[in-house]
A and B are shown apart, each in its own frame.
Chain A
Amino acid sequence: MAPGEIRVEGVARRFRIHARETRTLKDLFVQRGRAGAEDIWALHDVSLEVARGEAVGLIGRNGSGKTTLLRLIAGIIKPTTGRVRADGRIGSLLELGAGFHPDFTGRENVFLNGAIQGLRRAEIRDRFDEIVAFAELEHAIDRSVRTYSSGMTMRLGFAIAAFLDADVLLLDEVFAVGDEAFQRKCFGRIFAFKQAGGTIVFVSHDAAAVERLCERSVFLERGRVAFDGPTREAVARYRRALADEIDPAERGAGLREWGSGEATIASAALLGSEGEDRLQFLSGEPFAVRIGIDAPDGVPPLRLQLELRDDAGTLVAGEAVDLRAIGWAAQGGEQVVHYELGSLPLADGRFHLRLGLTDESGEHLYHWLDDALVFIVYPGDGERGMVRFAGTWRVEEKTAKR
């Protein structure tokens, strides 16, 4: 195996969870240490190969086994069955500043932490100035770490790991903290590491961060590899799994629909470009809403209202249409209405579609559905934010100068 390669072969890991947080000797002697213990398999039959220079993301919900897998690769724990091999120097940024001694100065902690991460004193001495400069702690390096802010501690922790000259870098949610400027700097450093041929395994809940860094991702679900492939696809599956799990809960939390009920919205669905039912869209894809309306004879002319809100409840767009105006025939029974967009003008996020049915004055409410549909939009290349502008760029032609 070359340095920088990682091979995980059929790995499973069991944790024995005890009824009480810590065990005492009494448990050992009285109950033989077994009673009240429960086995939890954090990983089942996980196989994974990472080539040198590859950046692989690990995504999944809490408790899906991401961190366990990372600790196995780091060699902190061993697999219950199977084999984990990782060659070369492994830098683990599982927690920034782990093992700093508060009573020691920053300088002393750099040497101590570097030694724990596997650096020799001479190597640390060579890099010391770079580390301190990167952490922006020139003024405080001889003060004890006790006086540091949490941001300063983190910066120093990251700087040490970043200058390890590792073959493999294991990152666990390390960008969750710190100010934005420093986060950018960390990312830059990690990119440089990747460009130089380093291997990266990156655990995060933040799908956008994973997408920026990794071409390939592994989606873990309850300790199994549910998907291993392009990050975009892995993220899509992850979000689908999240949506699947959240929706029933939200529906169960109260129907969130009301109205007098003379006419009702009988069905609602989102359609993709081929007319298939979908809840995930790429920014800029064709997008359609299909709404079934059940109105008996004699109901006054109807108006259909449509509201699009983001997760926080902010109104993104709202529209209403008099059904008469689009050719609604006032006859009994269910009729289907389509709302179509050639290109979805949303960029990134989770959106909620609310539907309402009123009379034409808007005063009488027949039926209102909060969260009729929840869907997710993934950004295309280089898109950020909530809305897709889809503008065009051009360079103004040079006016000829004499």
Chain B
Amino acid sequence: MSVYADVIRYRELFSSLFRRDLRAKYRGSVLGLAWTLLHPLVLMGVYLLVFSLLWRVTEIGSDDYWLFLLSALPAWVFFATALQGSTRSLLENANLIRKVRFPRQLVPLSIVGTNLVSFAVMLGVVICLSLIVLPEARSTVWLAIPLGALFACIVAGVALALASLNALYRDVEHLVAALLLPWFFLTPVLYSLDQLPGVDDYPAAEFALHWLNFLTPPIEAMRASLFFGDAPSAADTVYTVVAAIVALALGAFVFSRSDDRIAVEV
């Protein structure tokens, strides 16, 4: 656990790296840091436009498909962008890692941190929209915040593991890039698992989509609280907590095992 405790111990370094990553992303652009907020808002605006005005999806049994979508989209966007950014991060800082001693796990974790900012903004907006549009969700909407925090732990653990592995095996980043699109369709973002017409015929497929894809339970849980106004199911909640712990432990394990080789092979 000292892998993560170092974030607190070296918080000044972490905040320096965090600020660097945040600013480097939008360096030279006129709006600069404002893009951190604008980018997720523009993205959400597009979905809003397409799915509330142009393409009215009714399969979910509600007119507010756009909000249904937005209740899961921030988590997915966070997962995908944080993973892509952090997987390459150790290689991109190779000259630093080879020459200076510092807790190297801060490099991918800082990338996760910058993406967490966008996630928080998007989640905040969705919570506001939900409060306005869906009075029945008013009491459960807040549960999305602890769920989001647990989700961030999952992303951090997976990102740290993949960043470490990519330092040793360069095709991890290509694997990640190639897997993200199919993964998107296998995760209930555009649809809800129980409303899929096909799942009645293939219960095994539904089981696999729900429990083998570790993104499904946290996303379903967040959607339950943000959109359906239900408390998340116990199974989804427990799964999310366990997944967060396992992901963090896995990230710490993979990183500690490869830490020494990272400095040699990046």
Q: Please tell me which stretch of A88-96, A197-205, A206-214, A368-376 contacts chain B, meaning at least 4 of its Cβ atoms lie within 8 angstroms of it.
A: A88-96
Contacts of A118 in B (CB 8 A): 13, 102
Interface check A249, CB cutoff 8 A: no
Contacts of B93 in A (CB 8 A): 99
Expressed in whole angstroms, the Cα–Cα distance for A90 and B172 within the complex equals 34
Interface check B264, CB cutoff 8 A: yes
The answer to whether B27 and A94 touch across the interface, beta carbons within 8 angstroms, is no
The answer to whether B96 and A116 touch across the interface, beta carbons within 8 angstroms, is yes
Interface check A103, CB cutoff 8 A: yes
Expressed in whole angstroms, the Cα–Cα distance for A384 and B121 within the complex equals 67
Q: How far does the Cβ of B30 sit from chain A's closest Cβ, in whole Å?
A: 15
Expressed in whole angstroms, the Cα–Cα distance for A77 and B260 within the complex equals 5
Q: Please tell me which stretch of B163-171, B214-222, B229-237 contacts chain A, meaning at least 4 of its Cβ atoms lie within 8 angstroms of it.
A: B163-171
The answer to whether B169 and A111 touch across the interface, beta carbons within 8 angstroms, is no
Interface check A98, CB cutoff 8 A: yes
Interface check B39, CB cutoff 8 A: no
Contacts of A112 in B (CB 8 A): 16-17, 20
The answer to whether B96 and A98 touch across the interface, beta carbons within 8 angstroms, is yes
Contacts of A101 in B (CB 8 A): 20, 24
The answer to whether B28 and A103 touch across the interface, beta carbons within 8 angstroms, is yes
Expressed in whole angstroms, the Cα–Cα distance for A28 and B168 within the complex equals 10
Contacts of B263 in A (CB 8 A): 71, 76-77
| B interface bracket (residues with beta carbon within 8 Å of A) | 20 to 34
Interface check A2, CB cutoff 8 A: no
Interface check A338, CB cutoff 8 A: no
The answer to whether B20 and A104 touch across the interface, beta carbons within 8 angstroms, is yes
Interface check A62, CB cutoff 8 A: no
Expressed in whole angstroms, the Cα–Cα distance for A23 and B172 within the complex equals 11
Interface check B95, CB cutoff 8 A: yes
Which of chain B's residues has its CB closest to A120's CB? B12
Decide: A23 near B99, CB < 8 A? Known: A103-B28, A111-B16: no
Q: How far does the Cβ of A11 sit from chain B's closest Cβ, in whole Å?
A: 14
The answer to whether B98 and A76 touch across the interface, beta carbons within 8 angstroms, is yes
Interface check A22, CB cutoff 8 A: yes
The answer to whether B172 and A103 touch across the interface, beta carbons within 8 angstroms, is no
Which of chain B's residues has its CB closest to A111's CB? B16
Expressed in whole angstroms, the Cα–Cα distance for A98 and B266 within the complex equals 14
Interface residues of B in 62-121 (CB under 8 A from A): 93, 95-102
Contacts of A22 in B (CB 8 A): 170, 265
Contacts of A76 in B (CB 8 A): 97-101, 263
Show 24 residue pairs from A and B whose CB-CB distance is below 8 angstroms, ordered by the A residue. Answer: A15-B264, A22-B265, A23-B169, A24-B171, A25-B175, A28-B169, A74-B100, A76-B99, A76-B263, A77-B260, A90-B101, A92-B99, A94-B98, A94-B100, A98-B95, A98-B98, A98-B99, A103-B24, A104-B20, A104-B23, A115-B13, A117-B100, A117-B102, A121-B16
**B residues adjacent to A (C-beta < 8 A):** 12-13, 16-17, 20, 23-24, 27-28, 93, 95-102, 168-172, 175, 260, 263-265
A-B CB proximity, top 4 nearest: A99-B96, A115-B16, A98-B99, A75-B101
